[in-house]
Structure 1
Amino acid sequence: MKLTPGLEMLKSVALYIAGSIATCVGVALIGYRLGALSALPPWYWFFLFPVPALPLVVGLKYSLTALSTRRRASARGACLPPAVKGKKIGNTDILHEIIGKVETDYIGSGIFAQLVKQYGPTLNIRICWDNMFFTCEPSHIKAVLASSFDSWEKGHRWDMKAHSVFGIGVFNSDGDMWKLHRSMTRPFFTHDRIGHFDIFDNHAEEAITVAKERLRTGYAIDFQDLISRFTIDSATEFLFGNCVHTLFTPLPYPHNAPISTEEKAKNQYMPSERFAAAFADAQTTVAMRMARGGAWRFWEIFEDLSEKPMKVVREYLEPIIADAIEKHREKERNGELEEKQVQEGETLLDHLVRLTTDMVVIRDEVVNIMIAGRDTTASTLTMVIYFLARHPRVMDRLREEILTKVGSSRRPTYDDIREMKYLRAVLNETLRLFPPVPFNVRQSAEDTTFPPLTPEGQPMFIPGKSLLVYSVLLMHRRTDLWGPDALEFDPDRFIDHRLQKYLVPNPFIFLPFNAGPRICLGQQFAYNEMSFMLIRLLQNFSRIELDRESQPPESRPPAHWKDIPGRASTEEFHPRSHVTLYSKGGMWVRMTEADSDAT
């Protein structure tokens, strides 16, 4: 019988304690036989000696590990990152802060932002038995992703939390398995393929049509829901030629719409909506496991929380993959051998089955690519719409560029998109303030060091097998890296003198797609998809406004955000993150259709 994560942990703890008690009892027995402990009867020592011995053993192990770490750091001429000192034993108050405020904290000013302000951009947090490092320092993130790439891996601690969702896919693997997945998918994301916009155009037209239909009834739309449908339909068709067709189901109504509860809720029973919801739920489970640190399995003693949503995901994907594998084997039986190079018009699944017929390898790779290709793009486009609604001048300027370069109805080409500088600047500024993956993790494969924070400083020592959390979101918002207006939305920073002043001399301060050998293979594909959709959208709509009344009350920014310095005090939505960034409760907007004779 497969044990839940929590029961697996309790089994390991029980075996550890049993071994410790057996060792202590053995020591007591030997001491008694030698006469060293003969003053009291043996049963006294057998039952009481292990109780005080266990915390002593744990404390001794911690002290010896800390001593060894300091000596290894000293041997490299390095120092240790500042250690966070909580108010309670084991820093359990910090764990409570991370878990307890995840629902109400503003994502840019939570516990990690507070610790960075107090301890600096790179620090060490030990919570109970879980030792973790954190950084938002570009030179240190550069070391992890590029200059010391071989010293870092995803590691077993991430895998324990994410394996039930990501499996052995490219974002959850290391070594030869990572190289295999990377080599399998790289040929599919080439220039001549990412310039093909037929799939984007079909689903963009569907999305705009259903948006117009709902808006004409007088109701606002949840743009986050709409664009998630667009990206999941595009992704499923692009990846394996079998679209999930979420755009064919009715859009949700605002919470205050005067219609029946049954009408509002009926979408959740449709297969396409069940798949999309399960996909999000599985990622939320992984995110909560990361937030809970080494104690995450206490929340899953009786149930693996990822099992139900992943069952829905597998039920959709596996028949499609099995059919593709069978078709490939049929061709082999008929002697119709195929080249392993990417063929024109084929899907990623077509390509993968020529390289392997292993169901698990293909399924896990498809899930990983879907998360990367669907959720990150939907996140960014949602945030772009938010900014366009709040900054009408940016909206007008972007529409002007679109109408000048492409016109009011023509389908954009690859060359059109490449020439639209302001469009790229709007996307980059959105990616800077709200990167789709605000927090990421790595594990040190061996003892390593980070560069000094100052020319006269020491390198920072990171012990082998240590968990590192790094945040590009906090790095993207640092005023010392981006200037005093770093918290403001201003696309011109990617065009004017600030580009040369800040980004060009230090390109690692902007990493929405990661960097180094694990840089996102679909980076240009994502830019093309987002650009294409924005062009089509702004050809059809001339004004976007947030609809605060349609936003569910429980998802609006909490009142206490008004007292938080920075963006939180003026933010008009509640940014949250599972694996990727999203808006709690959706992004409800009204959009004004453009005049049909606009040029």
Structure 2
Amino acid sequence: MSRSWVSPGVAYLTRGLLSVIFPTAFSVIIIERLASLQGFRVSPWLFSVVVLGAVPLGFSAYILADEISQRRKAARLGARLIPRVQGKWPGNLDKMLNIILRSENEYLGRPMLDEIKELGPTVNFRFFWGDGILTTEPQHIKTILATDFHNYVKGANFREAADSVLGTGVFNSDGETWKLHRTMTRPFFTQDRISHFEIFDRHANRAIALAKERFRMDLTIDFQDLISRFTLDSASEFLFGHCIDSLSAELPFPYNALESTNTTQGDSAAAFADAFSQAQHAISRRVIIGSAWPMTEILADCTAQHMKVVNKFLDPILEAALGRHSTAAKLDTNETVGDQTLVDHLVKLTSDFKVIKDETLNILLAGRDTTASTLTSAIYLLAMHPEILTRLREEIISKVGLTRMPTYCDVKGIKYIQAVLNETMRLFPAVPFDVRETIHDTTWTSPEPGKKPLFVPGGVVVSYSVFLMHRRTDLWGPDALEFDPDRWLDERVQKYLLPNPFIFLPFNAGPRTCLGQQFAYNEMSFVLIRLLQNFSAITLSPEPGMHPPAWWAEKDGRQAIERFRPRNHLTLYAKASSPSQGGMWVKMEAVDDVEVIQ
């Protein structure tokens, strides 16, 4: 049966029942056969014992055998097992529920960090007796991403969890399929393309005009919503040659404003953005739960309704682009390289609609969500540190002025803006957690000098967190939790980063390094320049839905001082208590006419 007719939960239960029925039936047949050979009749009670006891006994035997096998394999490799989280309930069910429930109101990564503080930078959560390894150790992450790249794949578990959303795109594929997508996409992100800023400028000017309109009304704006619209419009025009035009819809109003926010609810672009975000949330939940996630979707695939909205919006855009290409091919019209969109580029390489759709949706995710995430975090940090904002703005004005559109050379020449962006991505990387799956048994170097290496079994899920790694004081110094762009310009670069470059990985590393890295730097730098040309100050709004609960102030680290709630699905974002209140409400002071004339 097709996936559309069978929910993930039903498929999972069917597989589970078959795995129970066959061993049990086999046991009954063996007992009955042996009994008949010996000439005696088997008691119904014995059959009952076999049927009722085969599954739990078999499962217990499997767990014991797996434990013995792992210890023997580790011993043969001269290694030790990774420190395991020890829960009070069978299968660490209490620990899993604790992480899921605390994640709703806790600081991002805090439940995992608590276990790391006790067990070390690499831990095995061992949910339901299945290994689930998390590491924040740069040498281990280097092994995963670079030095032993072929032993760490996205894997069947992640592919199944993300398939209903990302399909076989570059972020959800391995092997030859991944190579195909990577090879197809790479030529599109070249120097001559990423340095074209006209698209950025057009949409940035529109976003700034919308913000100024609200500020003249003495209202705040949800910057996360505004910048997400900007990146969606820019990315869609850049990738499809078709602007989604999400900036045409009215911006949401603050919770206490008299105006209604209902005007945005029916907007198709807003619906698309919200549906895509909700689908990513579903993937994140599935990954956290592990291979048993289908049990939480017994009745239906929880991404199906969201992807209907996404497909309804995206399919006509892609079909129109394919139609234009078909017409151009019939007329023998050659487009110049500079005029091609990603869809134009892909359609010359394949006619498979699914391949094109999956890849563009994956790249749209990268081009829209990650950039919007970093710019939202950057505005937040500049609002928290007005002295840094002032310094950055002074450098921008001295190099670009108050009105001129920045060029590629301007972006490369303003070193402090790169330092601000790097420091933003260090504290709030757009992809806080990522996942792989091992193929073969292997070992990792011990994070503790003098101890045996760690044994990593084949076929297990391995997660790594650059979010937690970027904040380690032993890697970045005692001020690791502070926002200080100067760490990218002074001796701390030589002291910490150069000897160990894998402590900073906002764009991944190795063969899967982000193809759009320079594109993202250009776009983020361009937007910051345009914003600070137009606004001289940024302040955070006291929106109740934006700020974290009061008890956060009693915690340690950044949690005690944070004024928004960082959360993640596939990417990091500012969590809100309700959709109408948004996630990052700010007010900006517009540049007056006198300053512009000067």
Fold shared by both chains (TM-score > 0.5): yes
Aligned to 1:582: 573
Instruction: Provide Cα deviations, 1:165-224, integer angstroms capped at 9, x if missing partner.
Output: 110000000001101110111111111111110000000000000000011111110000
- Does the residue aligned with 2:144 lie in a helix, a strand or coil? helix
For residues 56-80 of structure 1, give each alpha carbon's deviation from its aligned partner in whole angstroms, at most 9, with x where no partner exists. 1111112222222222222222222
Secondary structure of the 2:318 match is helix
**Contact 1:29–1:46 at 8 Å: present in 2 too?**
no
Letter in 2 for 1:588: W
User: 1:330-381 CA distances to partner (integer Å, 9 max, x unpaired)?
Assistant: 4444555x69xx8112111110101111000000001100111100000000
Alignment of 1:20-59 (within 5 A): 20-35=23-38, 41-59=42-60
CA distance in 2, matches of 1:551, 1:346: 45
> Are the aligned partners of 2:32 and 2:42 in contact in 1 as well (CA < 8 Å)?
no
Using the alignment, how far apart are the partners of 1:388 and 1:335 within structure 2?
A: 52
CA–CA distance in structure 2, aligned partners of residues 265 and 290 of structure 1: 34
**How far is the alpha carbon of 1:454 from its aligned partner?**
4.1
Deviations along 1:8-32, one digit per CA (max 9) or x if unpaired, are: 1111111111112212212331343
What's the CA shift for 1:232?
Answer: 0.3
* Residue 457 of structure 2 corresponds to residue 478 of structure 1: no
Percent same amino acid among aligned pairs?
51
User: Aligned-pair RMSD on alpha carbons?
Assistant: 1.6
Give the conservation status (yes or no) of the 8 Å contact 2:250–2:263. no
Q: Equivalents in 1 of 2:557, 2:269: separation in Å?
A: 39
Matched residue, 1:434:
428
1:565 aligns with 2:566: no
The CA deviation at 1:455 is: 4.5
TM-score, normalised relative to structure 2: 0.95
How high is the TM-score relative to the length of structure 1?
Answer: 0.95
Q: Assess if the C-alpha contact under 8 Å between 1:28 and 1:49 holds in 2.
A: no
- Displacement of 1:43 in angstroms is 2.1
Residue 294 of structure 1 deviates from its aligned partner by 2.9
- Spell out, residue by residue over 1:563-594, the C-alpha distance to the aligned partner (whole angstroms, 9 max, x if none): 22111111111111111000012100111001
Matched with 1:216 is 216
Map 1:124-203 → 2, pairs under 5 A: 124-203=124-203
Residues 1:399 and 2:393 are matched in the alignment: yes
Amino acid at match of 1:466: V
SS of corresponding position for 1:355: coil
The amino acid across from 2:286 in the alignment is R
> Residue type matched to 1:294 in 2?
S
Q: Please identify, of 490-499 and 72-81, the stretch whose mean Cα deviation from structure 2 is larger.
A: 72-81
Give the letter for the 2:555 counterpart.
I
- Report how far residue 298 of structure 1 moved: 2.2
2:340 aligns with: 346
Name which of structure 1's ranges 278-287 and 24-33 shifts more when overlaid on structure 2. 24-33
Contact 1:130 1:294 in 2 (8 A): no
In 1, Cα distance between the equivalents of 2:71 and 2:520? 44
Indicate conservation of the 8 Å contact 2:536/2:591, yes or no: yes
- Code of the residue aligned with 1:241 in structure 2: it is G
Aligned to 2:292: 295
Secondary structure, aligned partner of 2:524:
helix
Deviation of 1:487 after TM superposition, in Å, equals 0.6
Report what 2:243 is aligned to.
243
* Greater mean alpha carbon deviation, residues 157-166 or residues 313-322: 313-322
In structure 1, the partner of 2:580 is none
CA distance in 2, matches of 1:330, 1:129: 57
Residue in 2 that maps onto 1:6: 9
Residue 443 (structure 2) pairs with residue 446 (structure 1): no
| Contact 2:122-2:137 at 8 Å conserved across structures | yes
Is residue 404 of structure 2 the alignment partner of residue 410 of structure 1?
A: yes
| Contact kept in structure 1, 2:378 and 2:424, CA below 8 Å | yes
Identify which of 500, 518, 522 aligns with 1:506: 500
Letter paired with 2:242: N
* Aligned mates of 1:303, 1:174 — CA distance in 2: 27
> What is the distance in 1 between the residues matched to 2:589 and 2:263?
28
Q: Tell me what 1:285 maps to.
A: 282
- Alignment match, 1:92: 93
Secondary structure, aligned partner of 1:117: helix
In structure 2, stretches of 5+ residues that fail to align are: 577-582
CA contact (8 A) 2:107 2:566 kept: yes
Question: Structure 1 counterpart of 2:443, which letter?
Answer: T
Q: 1:130 & 1:296 partners in 2: Cα distance? A: 13
Partner secondary structure for residue 49 of structure 1? helix
Higher mean C-alpha deviation, range 208-217 or range 311-320: 311-320
Deviation at 1:402, TM superposition (A): 0.4
Q: Is the 8 A contact 1:181 1:365 kept in 2?
A: yes
**Residues 63 and 129 of structure 2 are in contact (CA less than 8 Å); yes or no, is this contact kept in structure 1?**
no
Structure 2 match to 1:596:
593
